[in-house]
Amino acid sequence: MASEGGEDHRLPRIASAIRVIPDFPKPGIMFQDITTLLLDHEAFRDTIDMFVERYRDKRITVVAGIEARGFIFGPPIALAIGCKFVPMRKPKKLPGEVISEEYSLEYGTDIMEMHVGAVQPGDRALVIDDLIATGGTLSAAIRLLERVGAEVVECACVIELPELQGSQRLGGKPLFVLVKAAAA
């Protein structure tokens, strides 16, 4: 697990708090488990602080968090910077009127939904998830936000798996991550 930009003294602790589980959810995949980061209060605090420091002066009006681990990191950031939090969810979880976006999985497709009316044209959005792999999920989130007229300022994740080149699937949107890791 390599820290991104070793200058920040908080990154080694954050990186070492993340547990790697081999062969989950299937053989060959090295799963980056952030639950152990959440057990280290100081490391979890530092993770949130690093995102908040980056975004507090960027006039962000909405943090969109991707179900489910994006729900853990997004709300503390939204609370600290004083903006809306919008959950981006699997199908049929959000009540009321939604818009949907289909995206590719390794085998097949999935659907992401966002509430109609949650985001306004001109909102400046941050998209949050724990990890970026292929970028499929994040790119679906970007499309949903742009369809309602928001400007996606950046995508932010704790971990990137650079070999999977997800950063190139974000429609030109920038990506900020704290740590980079091997996919397999």
Partner 1 sequence: MAVCEDKEQDPRIRRIASSIRVVPDFPKKGIMFQDITTLLLDPKAFKDTADLFVERYTGKGISVVAGVEARGFIFGPPIALAIGAKFIPLRKPRKLPGEVISENYVLEYGTDCLQMHVGAVQPGERALVVDDLIATGGTLCAAISLLERAGAEVVECACVIELPELKGREKLNGKPLYILMESH
CB of 168 to partner 1, least distance (A): 27
Sign of CA pseudo-dihedral 60, 137, 18, 177? negative
The Cα–Cα gap between 79 and 56 comes to 11
Using the minimum distance from each CB to partner 1, give the nearer residue, 115 or 124. Answer: 115
Backbone angles phi, psi at 83, to 5 degrees: -125, 175
Segment interacting with partner 1, rule: CB under 8 A, options 64-72, 140-148, 152-160, 174-182: 64-72
Segment interacting with partner 1, rule: CB under 8 A, options 90-98, 101-109, 139-147, 175-183: 90-98
CB of 95 to partner 1, least distance (A): 4
The Cα–Cα gap between 49 and 156 comes to 13
The Cα–Cα gap between 84 and 96 comes to 18
CB of 157 to partner 1, least distance (A): 16
Give the DSSP H/E element, type plus range, for residue 131. Answer: strand 124-132
- 167: helix, strand or coil: helix
**Within 5-24, which residues bind partner 1 (CB under 8 A)?**
19, 21, 24
List contacts with partner 1 (CB under 8 A).
Answer: 19, 21, 24-25, 31, 33, 35, 38-41, 44-45, 48, 67-69, 71-73, 75-76, 78-79, 82-87, 89, 92-96, 115, 118
